[in-house]
Structure 1
Amino acid sequence: MIVVTTREVTKSSMDPQQVENLLDKLAPTSALGPVINQKEPKTVLDDTVIDEGTKNMFVNGFQDESKYAHMTAEKLSTRFLQGLQLFDTDSTCNVNHLAHWKPSSFKMGNSIDNALDDNPDTYWQSDGVQPHQLDITFSKRIDVILIAFYFSLIADESYTPRLIKIYVGHSPSDALFYKTLEVRNVNGWVALTFEDNRSSDNLLKCQFIRIVFPVNHENGKDTHLRGIRIFAPSKKTSVENSEWMQSLASSNQLVTQCSLR
């Protein structure tokens, strides 16, 4: 605690140097510094725009406006199921069943289980005030190589999340912010990998993941999530993440070239 006497104030008012000394007691200049406005890491997702930074994230490939204009519910379902087939590789293992999934809320009949099944017509729907969140807890630390989300702006409209914030750690008490996803225009599966987290092995080592949905498109209040998958490296074979991405890129070309019926 700093005590400033009347005598000090009286003298300092007569001596500029004493004024500086007095102010330095109240707010040391060593503690002052420029304010740095650090931008949080954010990945913009739009599968109508070919971008080198995100092109491998779109499991179902890119779509132009003409294809979107003729996108039917049947074609969206096909994209959902095609994505699941592309994830079925020897290099990754779906670990959804190893986690405890706890949403902040859910609408009756639209529990979080709907986002974990293989049905493109079911979804988790929140029921409450924003932000909505989903806590994912494993019994022990796990190596995550990929988190996949399915978004459909066409099917879900204002229920589609526009921003997604991801926090990771060992528990809710020590979870740290990792990244923001901005969903602009996506109708398919998005593969989030972790080259920017651990360049040595491209893994996310954690026991707890929190996914926050603060904002929807068109200012919608409740959020839909039709699909989410968490993958760990498979014990069957040791494959580098770069090989997975090459496989995914090749599969993307295959899906883009084939016609959806």
Structure 2
Amino acid sequence: MDADIVNNILNKLAPKEFIKPVDKLNKPITILNDGSDSRFKNDSCEYMNGPLSNKMREELTPYTMANRFTLGLERLDSLDVTNVTHLAYWRPSSSKVGNPIENALDDDPDTFWQSDGKQPHKLDIYFSKKMSIIKIGLYISLHQDESYTPREIKIYVGSSPTNCNYYKSLSVNHLDGWVALSFIDNRPHDKLLKCRFIRLEFPFNHENGKDTHIRGIRVYAPSTTANIESRDPMQVLPISSRLFNEFALK
């Protein structure tokens, strides 16, 4: 069949003026580096402990790291946001005995979640309803955890593990403190993630390490939501919780 005839038929079925080019979703990787080099500054993350020079990094001690954990968390909690960490059900792909996910949700700088299995390691976060998430706080320390430090973090969001989409990747270049992730690259007008499910995937570690450490993680909603902030110890639902089993993930 003549090419002009084919094009004419196709144009009648789908007129060219109504067809718009589709841009491939190719979001850049967000580099996490809390150093003083301005090349690593971007609008999608904020370092709650401020910049760290090479000299300061060399002088880090267990005492100063504990202070960085506490002060950074206080600054996170002082933002105009609502802490909803305790409203989620947290399910890691694996946990080392003595290092459960609850360790990453407490206020102790010396405790951490450690995976115990094959890479990629995963951390699934479930909510009972669609949430408006404005910040995710992560405490990561290459100084403390060395080869246990994740080198890359992939984020997936959606309504359930079987209905989620890849959102973006984080490249952990150098980090020794709290970083607050915002979502201006998702919804520039309100900087929100709207979802019931979040997955953090850890495919690689620094120095080719196998298991991953996460010392702190928090999830925040806008402060305009109902005041559900709680400064009591985190209420983490156990895997066998009847409440979670009754959640309808739609």
Q: TM-score range by the shorter chain?
A: 0.7 to 0.9
1:27 matched to which residue of 2? none
CA positional deviation for 1:158: 0.1
CA contact (8 A) 1:116 1:229 kept: yes
**Matches of 1:190 and 1:54 in 2, distance apart?**
12
Alpha-carbon distance between aligned partners in 1 of 2:169 and 2:55, rounded to the nearest angstrom: 29
**Offset of residue 216 of structure 1:** 0.2
2:131 corresponds to 1:152: no
**Aligned mates of 1:130, 1:230 — CA distance in 2:** 24
Cα separation, partners in 2 of 1:237 and 1:99, compared to 1, 3 Å: closer
Which residue in 2 is equivalent to 1:252? none
SS of the residue corresponding to residue 195 of structure 1 reads coil
Q: Tell me if 1:199 matches 2:153.
A: no
Task: Choose between structure 1 and 2: higher helix proportion.
Answer: 1
**1:139-183: CA deviations, max 9, x gaps?**
000000000100100000000000000000011111000010000
Helix, strand or coil at the partner of 1:57: strand
Partners of 1:137 and 1:204 in 2: CA distance: 14
Provide the alpha-carbon RMSD of the alignment: 2.3
The corresponding residue for 2:244 is none
Match of 2:108 in 1: 119
**1:162 lines up with 2:162 in the alignment:** no
Q: Which runs of 5+ in 2 are unaligned?
A: 2-22, 228-250
Runs of 4+ in 1 over 6 A off after TM superposition: none
Partner of 2:61: 72
- Which residue is 2:38 aligned to? 50
Change (3 A) 1:67 1:96: same
TM-score normalised by the chain length of structure 1 = 0.74
Are 2:71 and 1:97 equivalent residues in the alignment? Answer: no
Alignment CA distance shift 1:236-1:136 (3 Å): closer
Give the fraction of aligned pairs with identical amino acids, expressed as a percent.
Answer: 52
Correspondence for 2:198 among 209, 215, 234: 209
Q: CA deviation at 1:50?
A: 2.2
1:231 aligned residue: 220
The higher radius of gyration belongs to: 1
* Aligned amino acid, residue 43 of structure 1: T
Amino acid at match of 1:41: P
Q: Which amino acid aligns with 1:121?
A: D
Q: Which runs of 5+ in 1 are unaligned?
A: 1-16, 18-35, 239-261
| Matched positions, count | 206
Alignment map for 1:233-248 (pairs within 5 Å): 233-235=222-224
Question: Is the alpha carbon distance of 1:56 and 1:221 closer, same or farther for their aligned partners in structure 2, counting shifts above 3 Å?
Answer: closer
Superposition TM-score, scaled by structure 2 size: 0.77
